[in-house]
Chains A and B, each alone.
Chain A
Amino acid sequence: MLIPCPYCGERGADEFTVIGAADPMRPEPDAPMEAWVEYVHVRDNAFGPHRELWHHVHGCRQWLVVTRDTRTHAVHGAEAARR
């Protein structure tokens, strides 16, 4: 699989680690316990395009949001996670 790193170009997936969904947002500090449980443990099991967090750990060490189709592994884009 190839990941189009916005800093390094297309690189093999073995240079990266992936931790899963990019969209769960860390709750505000005063959010209830349930919001934190949701943030840490509950994930959609995406079937189709999926935004996920990849780390170019053997490259530029930037965290990326990669949009990948979980059915085909087609990568629709990658952008820096820092917004």
Chain B
Amino acid sequence: MRLPTGGLIDRDRTIRFTFDGKAYAGHPGDTLASALLAHGVTLMGRSFKYHRPRGVWGLGSEEPNALVELRSGARREPNTRATVAELYDGLEARSQNRWPALGFDMMAVTQAFAPMLNAGFYYKTFMWPAAFWEKLYEPLIRRAAGLGRAPDAPDPDRYEEMHGFCDVLVIGSGPAGLAAALAAARTGARVIVTDEDARMGGRLLADRAEINGAPAHLWAGQALAELAAFPGVTLLPRTTVFGVFDHGTYAAVERVSDHLAAPPEGMPRQRAWHIRARRAVLAAGALERPIAFAGNDLPGIMAASALRGYVNRYAALPGRRAVVFTAGDDGWRTAADLRDAGAEVTVVDARPGAPALARGVRHVAGGRVARAHGRLALDEVELTTGQRIEADLLAVAGGWNPTVNLTSHHGSKPVWNEELSAFLPGAGIPGLTPAGAAAGRLTLAACLADGARAGLEAARQAGFQGQPLPLPSAEDEPAAIAPLFFVPGRASTSFVDFQNDVTADDIALAAREGFRSVEHAKRYTTLGMATDQGKTANVVGLAILAEQTGRTIPETGTTMFRPPYTPVSIGAIAGHHVGRGFRPTRRTPLHGWAARNGASFVEVGPWLRAEWYARPGEKGWRDSVDREALNVRANAGVCDVSTLGKIEVVGPGAAALLDLVYANDISTLKPGRIRYGVMLREDGFVMDDGTCARLAADRFFLTTTTANAGKVMQHLEFCHQVLLPHLDVAVLSVTDAWAQVSVAGPKSREVLRGVLDDAAPLALPHMSVAEVTVCGGTPARLYRLSFSGELAWEVGVPAECGEAFMERLMAAGAPHGLAPYGTEALGVLRIEKGHPAGGELKGQTTAADLGLGRMLSKRKDFIGRVLSQRPALVDPARPVLVGLRTRDARQVLRAGAHLLEPGAAPSTGNSLGHVTAACWSPHLGRMIGLALLSGGRDRHGTRIRVFDPVRDGDAEMEVCDPVFLDPEGSRTRA
């Protein structure tokens, strides 16, 4: 029920929502959990394995039990903790893992089979017979186990990434966090404060306490107002720091719109933060842990601190008769708050001699809860003495676990503290200081003092000056604790890990079966491996394992905490890197021209390249490609080659650098001439090929393949800076500076005559370069070289002149039949000429494999020279480049097919190589291809079996020279 007064909710406004189709109402400030509890709804879900009824255990993100499905359609969101889901008007929530209904779950019969599903059941029960796994066990387990349903449509929301910089990051905004933030901010430091909650203040909102003689939440409000007024302070509510990375880098996720039905226009759903902080204060508080006893998972059984949080912050009291089962002083605070809210309270304090800390409640000194009774919710509590107490609420105060998780993200293990019966931060992470409850200071005045100290210290270490300021006045409440982790009894229903349904029995079984190491026991039982990562379960499980193996807790050890602290959606991590935003799209300077002239585009690395230019009446891409390729060989074609990597190497040391980088000689190249060049990696394989034009004695212009442009640039810088640092040379990427086209075909000279201001350079021989002007004074470079095997030039003009130049070129070429061609026709032309490209330059081929062995210089050192002569790289059985021709126009050849000796059995061992490229050759009227074939040079003229079982290809074809057209090269030199 909702208490008539109190709570930090806005009672003036009502929010309507549904749970399992039933309508409810709540108020701004409510979570789904608090609103349901205010309606007396304690049953919220069914458990993972046994389908046991479950309700709320905690108050925040640690919640193991109350997992629900929110929203619907593409925004359907499974496994959301009801304790952190803020209410909004129209919220739809559904319980999970039940069929047909939450109150009557057929699958709950699995409880009868519980012995089959205990620790290690994955490894034991379903191991035999193996054939049963796929057909029987897996579908069965998948239906019965598991949690919510993932949405089945793409996420409609946007996510973004943000970088934050600060001097002091404060993680958590409870008493320690606020004190730390104030202390740091008052020195002038830039401060970022994060808190998971929508409302900052931490336990100051959940506990009845006083600061400066007034309710503590008022002090929190004043502190937040002061912080918000500093220009250098950023307050980030709804933000979880989920990971600590190197050198003060913190990853956080901000739930910008999760509390709304849909993100507002222009706003992301969530925002991933990369925060770089000089120092950080971890004020993440502490989490109360359960005590394992029979039936301790029934709805109505909650962490004592959570229950008083629902009463104080939300004015929600989900029962009338409460038992508080406590191992320390802290449970008494819940007892007092419940009493004042009107509940009838019995405190069962496990410590025999401990005094009563609240009046007006019944007190069972030295008592222990043995078992909780009830079907869908608690109705009776049974003590070890046999005494039974009628109750609909059971608050469990098992002691506090400081939230040390982030301090372990670099591998530092937490350390057991005997006095607090809890793990405290170990060596931790440089620059990250735990403070307050996270550091084991579990009382209010201690938290305020420790936070203020840590905040000032952090600011000073970040280079700011400041003096300690007077602390707000507060008291240290009683906080003694006597360790109690479990009450022996029916261990098979004494739950340790609620979310993964791991019981005290499971841990005992694991110990009996020899899983003494905590890491082994964890994996065997799945303790702490659910989405809550054992925030409430781990220490209790460890204590049981310690007892079972006759060791202390520190001897037993602890498992590691790793990022993320709470689950993070994939969307937040992907940010805007989805769809076309996955990586940048590069367009050439001629992209617009190509698009206007009918091009369709293909992705080549980051680039979009024109693949062909369809014309009216063409029935498919093959028509366009055949026409384009035939036109190059009959008239002239123009192809955008701007994507090729372009690098200038300038300076007195340029030739010496290129002699090291290229396997063939470059220093002997004369100014004004071009050489085809091949680069090896130091391990002897080919890295890339391209052309090298010597513009002047100390100036070279290199081209690389589109794919390797970045890699070659980096390699050149490496060779210069690391290997030849004494050379006076500069290496410059100029890829984006030039729009470059290839003009190829027997009529290309006539075409170019129409755009060159002076046609004389067209008389220069093959492999020459000239600086020219075009179209009346535009500077350009003219490279006579050919990839297609035809008479051809490449022309480079400044990128911004690209489109205008294309228009002029096309006009000049029209009388000669000039037509653009795309990458597909380019591929046909190069296969017909046997030029190696992507499929052959795959990082596993040598220069000799590709027929380029004679290019390797004998007169100089170069990268890859020695290792290219390794025995394995000069093995005569290596597959080498050959051509393949089909026997008639109907035969199909595909890249990827394997090559076999005719008659040999198809097997990996018998494979002699594979097809690297294939196309329809319009000039030869059949499909042709290139292949890497063992002993290929001696097989020209023989037949080989081309075996492609995946695509039903199996035929014999003819091996030939890789150059299908004009082997003498007379057309190029025309």
Contact = CB atoms under 8 A, between A and B. Distances in A.
Interface of A: 1-2, 12-13, 17, 26-27, 29, 31, 33, 36-37, 39-41, 53, 55, 57, 61-63, 72-73, 75, 80-83
A1 B249 contact: yes
A20 B714 CA distance: 15
Interface stretch (B447-455, B699-707, B716-724, B736-744): B716-724
B11 interface: no
B867 interface: yes
B861 A57 contact: no
A31 B245 CA distance: 43
The list of the 10 closest CB pairs from A to B, nearest first, reads A82-B725, A1-B246, A29-B861, A2-B247, A73-B246, A63-B721, A36-B866, A82-B721, A81-B722, A40-B682
Contacts of A72: 410
Interface of B: 245-249, 276, 410, 682-683, 714, 717-718, 721-723, 725, 861, 865-867, 869-870
Given A40-B683, A63-B718, A2 B725 contact: no
A2 B246 contact: yes
B247 A75 contact: yes
B722 A63 contact: yes
Nearest to A13: B246
A36 B681 CA distance: 12
Contacts of B683: 40-41
Nearest to A10: B247
19 contacts: A1-B245, A2-B247, A2-B248, A2-B249, A26-B682, A29-B861, A33-B867, A33-B869, A36-B867, A57-B714, A61-B717, A62-B721, A63-B717, A63-B718, A63-B722, A72-B410, A73-B247, A82-B721, A82-B725
A26 B723 contact: yes
Given A61-B717, A63-B717, A82-B725, 14 more contacts: A1-B246, A2-B249, A2-B276, A12-B249, A13-B246, A17-B714, A29-B861, A36-B682, A37-B867, A53-B722, A62-B717, A63-B718, A72-B410, A82-B722
Contacts of A27: 866
Contacts of B410: 72
Contacts, number: 57
Contacts of B869: 33
Contacts of B718: 53, 55, 63
Contacts of A81: 721-722, 725
B867 A40 contact: yes
Contact of B247 (A1, A33, A83): A1
A63 B245 CA distance: 24
Given A40-B683, A40-B867, A55-B717, A83 B245 contact: no
A76 B708 CA distance: 33
A33 B721 CA distance: 25
B415 to A, nearest CB: 19
A59 to B, nearest CB: 12
Given A1-B245, A1-B249, A73-B246, A33 B870 contact: yes
Contacts of A26: 682, 723
A17 B721 CA distance: 15
A66 to B, nearest CB: 13
Contacts of B870: 33
Contacts of B723: 26
A27 B358 CA distance: 82
B693 to A, nearest CB: 23
A73 B682 CA distance: 29
